[in-house]
């Protein structure tokens, strides 16, 4: 399915989660700028991609590109052994593989004892999302490591003519994720390092109390919530979209542009029933509040 066709179905499906960044103290002074910012998750995340770091499909167009880097602990210096790294991107003809058993251009790898990882794949392309908007070529990535908040992000490539027009790349948040492409022996190469952050999560027991299906009181729309790796997700047509827990039964998609947000508040009642308030702003200064009841 092409990206522009699927986006019509997802509403606020193009969303982001938290920024993580640190400046560390070495005993004498503050050093380093090891910020790793998040980017939109998008509607095309699929879990359980095959464990492999070579995603090249023989016979398909697209230059070979090697992506490598290091995943570090929150001290911004120590490599995280066995951290999980997931990569997914579109094909040369602008298609994401959302349902085949081949999981084309999707893969999972684990860092070595020094926190290093590497993927070899084929260069993605920009694509039209409709309305005259074209997204720059990019990789989607998810970094997961026990003890830290999972980081979902995207990386882009210097020289892409659509970078200066894309809402996700024109701001300062993305500047460290627009990477220089080098070429060696006919292979493009880029390096992207990630620094993890402490996680803020509900207990499994608390998640169990709020997951399930909810019906909007006015429209009858159904939203289905489930848990994965200790996070709260809402189901979509491919797999789902993840919310960040911010405390006091509140969840949100952090990292959206200023003035845009989607927030959830779950009200756990004494009789065991649970209700949901969903607050959404598309950046126009108007907040839409919807009430749901669990069914």
Q: What's the mean pLDDT when you consider all of the chain?
A: 84
Show Cβ contacts of residue 91 under 8 Å, excluding neighbours closer than 6 positions.
60, 62, 97, 104, 105, 124
Q: What is the pLDDT of residues 26-35, one digit of tens each?
A: 444 434 446 5
Specify burial of residue 236 (Cβ count, 10 A radius: 0-12, 13-18, 19+). middle
Q: pLDDT at position 199, please?
A: 58
C-beta separation of 243 from 253 below 8 A: yes
In percent, how much of the chain has pLDDT > 70? 85
* pLDDT band at residue 272 under the 50/70/90 scheme: confident
| pLDDT reported for residue 72 | 93
Inform me whether the pLDDT recorded for 238 exceeds 90.
Answer: yes
Q: Output 57 or 204, whichever has higher pLDDT.
A: 57
β-strand 151-157 against 178-179: which pairing, if any?
parallel
Percent pLDDT > 90 in the chain is 55
pLDDT at 203: 67
Give the per-residue pLDDT at 129: 85
| Per-residue model confidence as pLDDT tens digits over 158-191 | 999 999 988 778 777 788 899 999 999 999 999 9
Q: What is the mean pLDDT of residues 254-279?
A: 84
Residue 254's pLDDT is 63
pLDDT digits (tens, 9 = 90+) for 123-142: 999 999 888 889 999 999 99
Question: What 8-state DSSP symbol labels residue 36?
Answer: B
Question: Is residue 285 scored above 70 in pLDDT?
Answer: yes
Evaluate if residue 12 carries a pLDDT over 50. Answer: no
Cα 41 from Cα 19, distance rounded (Å):
13
Q: How far apart are CA 128 and CA 193, in angstroms?
A: 29
In which band, very low, low, confident or very high, does the pLDDT at 3 lie, cut at 50, 70 and 90?
low
Domains of the chain with CATH codes: 3-198 (2.60.130.10), 204-294 (2.40.128)
Whether this prediction's pTM lies above 0.85 is answered by no
Is the per-residue pLDDT at 222 higher than 90? yes
pLDDT at 51: 98
């Amino acid at each position: 399915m092409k990206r522009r066709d699927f986006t019509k179905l997802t509403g606020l499906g193009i969303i982001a989660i938290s920024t993580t960044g640190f400046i560390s103290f070495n005993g004498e002074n503050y050093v380093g700028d090891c910020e790793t910012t998040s980017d939109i998750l998008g509607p095309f995340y699929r879990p359980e991609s095959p464990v492999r770091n070579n995603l090249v499909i023989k016979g398909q167009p697209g230059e070979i590109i090697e992506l490598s880097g290091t995943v570090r602990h929150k001290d911004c210096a120590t490599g995280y052994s066995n951290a999980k790294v997931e990569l997914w991107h579109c094909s040369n003809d602008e298609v994401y593989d959302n349902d085949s058993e081949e999981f084309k251009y999707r893969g999972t790898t684990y860092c070595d004892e020094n926190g290093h990882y590497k993927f070899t794949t084929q260069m993605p392309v920009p694509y039209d999302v409709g309305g005259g908007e074209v997204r720059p070529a990019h990789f989607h990535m998810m970094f997961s490591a026990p003890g830290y908040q999972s980081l979902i992000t995207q990386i882009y490539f210097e020289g892409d003519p659509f970078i200066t027009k894309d809402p996700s790349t024109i701001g300062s948040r993305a500047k460290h994720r627009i990477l220089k492409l080098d070429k060696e022996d006919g292979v493009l190469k880029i390096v992207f390092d990630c620094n993890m952050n402490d996680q803020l999560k509900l207990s499994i027991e608390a998640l169990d109390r709020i997951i399930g299906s909810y019906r909007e009181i006015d429209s009858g729309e159904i939203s289905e919530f489930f848990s994965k790796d200790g996070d709260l997700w809402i189901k979509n047509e491919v797999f789902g979209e993840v919310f960040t827990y911010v405390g006091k039964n509140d969840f949100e998609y952090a990292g959206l542009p200023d003035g845009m947000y989607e927030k959830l508040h779950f009200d756990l009642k004494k009789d065991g029933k649970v209700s949901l308030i969903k607050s959404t702003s598309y950046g126009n200064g108007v907040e839409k509040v919807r009430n749901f009841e669990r069914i």
